Structure 1
Amino acid sequence: MEKVIITLRRGRDDAVGDDAWCARIREHVAPDLLALGLPGLSVNVRDSAVNGSLMTLTTLDPPVVGFVSLWTEQCYGEQVSAALARLRRDADRVAAYLVTESVPLALPATAPGARSEGFANVALLRRPADLDEMTWRARWHVDHTPVALATQSTFGYTQNAVVHALTADAPRIDAIVEEQFPLAALSDLHAFFGAADDDDLRDRMDRMVASTAAFGANRDVDTVPTSRYVYRTPFTDPAAQGV
């Protein structure tokens, strides 16, 4: 089973937070993708529910306004090709990446197609040229993960290391991180970092800044606030089977 993440970008004149476009992706495009028989599918859209996020960072022009994550048996097969063709009907720039997924903190399950609690902050990371891949990955996965979990109010945390791009014109991205936060974290730094007071906030921010700087995630980064919808998962919850 392989995971593919697809970024969606629109034209420079298209509004960010276009609810009509977001609804079309959720209500029309997602069913078409499910009809392809994909084992897993989730959709993230930058809709009006997440407008005004304090933690939005943008390097890409135009910015990313949606993500489609799909699971397939063959990243270069007909399912992915058909999915890309369908998405190109509703997005001007569609880029796909094969990734390996690590889940330090699993997101609580939701009903298929329902909006996940809170909001998903999706970060697009790029490895600095002065860090070799092994060092960069160790600092991100081994050193940074416990810091991120300890200093923020995340209740879902997924790390996707990019193996390679699947589309010829894909912008360079080395990792895609999905973090689920409470809605209050959109506009309140104390809520974002889970801080009890100003001193606690300062301490958490200092630790987070130092940790991200160690692997270059403090620069050349896009962070995209989104509403997340899981339509189908390829994984079975062991608890549901009494295992």
Structure 2
Amino acid sequence: MEKVMVTLRTGAPDDAWAEQLRGPVAQELLALGLPGVTVNVRDADVRDSMMMLTVLDPPVQAVVSLWTQQYYGDQVLMALELLGHQAEYIAAYLVTESAPLPPPTSPIGERSPGLANMALLRRPAHMDEPTWLSRWHGNHTPVAIATQSTFTYVQNYVVRALTEDAPVINAIVEEHFPIESVRSLHAFFGAADDADLQDRMEKMVASTAAFGANVNIDAVPTSRYVLRSPFVAEQA
């Protein structure tokens, strides 16, 4: 089983666009027979999040995750053609998935609880890959979990891009936070008070700076919809 993540970039989509993506478009993806389909989309529930950061122009407004038996097969090719009609730019990436904190099970097709923050990471040019991975996976992972109110932490390491002219991205991280995190830094970091918030933020910045994730990063607040899971045997 392989995982392909597709970023969709467009200007300022409205709620109808988000509903179209997680509704009719998702159903067309399911009809292709893909073993797994998840839609993360920036919609009304999270659009006002203070955690939005963007390098890309236009920004990423959705990330669609596909599970398949072969990333180069017809299912993925047809899925990319379909998604290409939904945004100004799409880019697909073959990834390996690590899940220090797997997402909780949610009813198929329904919105998962909380804020699903999608972070697009880039490895600094001066840092070799083994060092970058060691600092990110080995050193940063426990810090990220300890300093934030994270209840899901999934690391998707990019093996390679699958579409022409795809922006360089080395990883896509998905973190889930309480919905209150949309408007509250205290809720985002799980801080008891201002002093605790300051301490957590300083630890987080120091840790991300060690592997270059404090700059040149896109952070996309989304709502998560699992339409089909490759890990659940029986689904509607």
TM range (shorter): over 0.9
DSSP 3-state at the match of 1:48: coil
Question: Once the two structures are superposed, what CA deviation does each residue of 1:203-228 show, in whole Å capped at 9, x if it has no partner?
Answer: 11110000000000001000000010
CA positional deviation for 1:236: 3.9
Q: CA deviation at 1:131?
A: 0.7
User: Structure 2 matches for 1:38-117, cutoff 5 A?
Assistant: 38-117=34-113
Q: What is the identity, as a one-letter code, of the residue corresponding to 2:12?
A: A
Is 2:154 the partner of 1:158? yes
Q: Which runs of 5+ in 1 are unaligned?
A: none
CA displacement at 1:91 relative to structure 2: 1.4
SS in 1 for 2:45: helix
**What secondary structure, in the 3-state scheme, does the structure 2 residue paired with 1:49 have?**
coil
Identity within the alignment, %: 64
Q: CA deviation at 1:185?
A: 0.6
Aligned-partner Cα distance in 1 for 2:67–2:44: 27
Looking at structure 2, the residues matched to 55 and 130 of structure 1 have their Cα atoms a distance apart, in angstroms, of: 27
Provide TM-score, normalisation by structure 1. Answer: 0.94
Q: Give the CA deviation at 1:167.
A: 0.2
- Residue matched to 2:6: 6
Deviates more, 1:87-96 or 1:29-38: 87-96
- Is 2:12 the counterpart of 1:15? yes
TM-score of the superposed pair, with normalisation by structure 2: 0.97
How many residues were matched structurally? 234
Q: How does 1:1-243 map to 2 (within 5 A)?
A: 1-10=1-10, 14-16=11-13, 18-236=14-232
CA RMSD of aligned residues (A): 1.2
Structure 1 stretches of at least 4 aligned residues deviating more than 6 Å after TM superposition:
none
Amino acid at match of 1:167: T
* Aligned equivalents of 2:84, 2:160: Cα separation in 1: 20
87-96 vs 205-214, which moves further: 87-96
State the distance in 2 between where 1:135 and 1:122 align.
23
Q: CA deviation at 1:198?
A: 1.1
